[in-house]
Amino acid sequence: MKSTSIPASVSVIGLGNMGVALADAFLNGGHPTTVWNRSADRAKGLVGKGAVLAGSVAEAITASSLVVVCLSTYKVMQDLLEPLENELSGRVIVNLTTGTPEDARKSAKWVSERGGQYLDGAIMAVP
């Protein structure tokens, strides 16, 4: 049976090698994908494939109910998300940033207290 559902939209924040690969996979899966990176030029290839480049982290967060964060540290993530705490309600934040279990617990609590859901993950890869 063929599915008639519309693929969920997703936002990817952080376009290092892994963020680009994740956004590309979402695009290939037919998901409307919004991307943001401090260096907007990192998004050129993805935009050429149909991604929408957000002009700010706020635009990326509000574009989708599913937000994948792939940044260098939890501190960087927190610095970007703290000013947007009112935008997190009703969103699922999937964090693939490297850190400690304590970082993950603190982040989960913080997002939950703002009405969002939080999933912390890890990407296992050999550089």
pLDDT of 1 > 70? The answer is no
CATH pick for 10-120 out of 3.40.50.720, 3.50.50.60, 3.40.50.620, 3.40.710.10: 3.40.50.720
| CA distance linking residue 91 with residue 48, whole number of Å | 27
pTM of the predicted model, to two decimals?
0.92
pLDDT of residue 7: 81
57-101: per-residue pLDDT in tens?
999 999 999 999 999 999 999 999 999 999 999 999 999 998 899
**Percent with pLDDT over 70 in the chain:** 94
Which residues lie closer than 8 Å to 39 by C-beta, 6 or more apart?
A: 15
pLDDT at position 126 is: 59
Sorted by where each begins, the domain ranges of the chain are 10-120
pLDDT higher than 90, residue 116: yes
d(CA 19, CA 69): 8
- The answer to whether residues 24 and 68 touch, using CB atoms and an 8 Å cutoff, is no
User: What average pLDDT does this structure show over 15-19?
Assistant: 94
- Give, for 28, the enclosing helix (H) or strand (E): helix 17-28
Q: What is the amino acid identity at position 121? A: G
Mean pLDDT (the chain, rounded): 93
Q: Which residue has the tokens 């939950």?
A: 112
